[in-house]
């Protein structure tokens, strides 16, 4: 029996809905086409890469079969995780028997051609790819931690100078979200309609619930 062709599933992540998760779609389509592959499905997600449990990522993993390919534009789209969480995610991916292919990791491109690790050269390339994947995941995490540290230092400095006033509230967005929530629309749908993150909708809903309770007790 002929070996079945592995399926390619593309993961597109941005930290918030204000960023366009579709931006990388063209690059992934062109990459797959250049390797004679067709992308079986796209899994766009608006979640932080610092979170291990992401709905679309784990839906991709659930949909995949051994030998399938998890395609992403950059390793940091897949992970900005702590070392412990990265090892957990990598373990899940390995247990599923999937191959990670990232456009910024040339050693991973071999899997797009169906190249396995049966030969000595294949095993060597696989080991090198695994090492580089871990390295890029660690770099992505450090980049995240450096940006957080610089942001906090900037806020501290601005506060000391009396210049920091906090994040400016988007009143128009809040009004749209409140209207959608008041109509009974589910949180995930509100986030899509209003083009914002699910956490933003949840924060606004919490404010509404708090205001309602205050009125009830008044």
Q: Enumerate the active-site residues.
A: 15
Torsion angle defined by CA atoms of residues 144, 146, 152 and 153, in that order, rounded to the nearest 10 degrees: -170
CA dist., res. 199 & res. 119, Å (int): 47
Nearest to 19 by CA among 73, 89, 99: 73
- Cα separation of the two ends of the chain: 74
Please name the residue that has the structure tokens 């009830």: 216
- List strands edge to edge, sheet with 39-46: 39-46, 8-14, 69-72, 99-102
DSSP-derived secondary structure letter, 209: H
């Amino acid at each position: 029996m002929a070996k079945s062709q592995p399926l390619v599933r593309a993961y597109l992540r941005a930290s918030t809905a204000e960023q366009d998760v579709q931006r990388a779609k063209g690059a992934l389509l062109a990459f797959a086409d250049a390797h004679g592959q067709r992308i079986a499905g796209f899994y766009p997600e608006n979640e932080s890469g610092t979170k291990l449990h992401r709905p679309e990522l784990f839906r991709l993993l659930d949909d995949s079969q051994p030998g399938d390919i998890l395609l992403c534009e950059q390793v940091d789209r897949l992970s900005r995780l702590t070392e412990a969480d990265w090892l957990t995610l990598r373990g899940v991916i390995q247990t599923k028997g999937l191959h990670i292919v990232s456009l910024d990791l040339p050693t991973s491109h071999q899997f797009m051609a169906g190249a396995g690790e049966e030969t000595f050269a294949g095993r060597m390339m696989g080991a090198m790819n695994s090492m580089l994947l871990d390295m890029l995941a660690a770099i992505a995490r450090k980049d995240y931690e450096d940006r957080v540290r610089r942001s906090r230092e900037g806020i501290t400095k601005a506060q000391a100078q009396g210049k920091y006033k906090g994040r400016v509230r988007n009143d128009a967005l809040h009004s749209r979200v409140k209207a959608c929530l008041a109509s009974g629309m589910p949180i995930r749908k509100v986030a899509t309609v209003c083009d914002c993150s699910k956490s933003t909708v949840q924060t606004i809903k919490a404010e509404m619930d708090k205001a309602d309770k205050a009125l009830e007790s008044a």
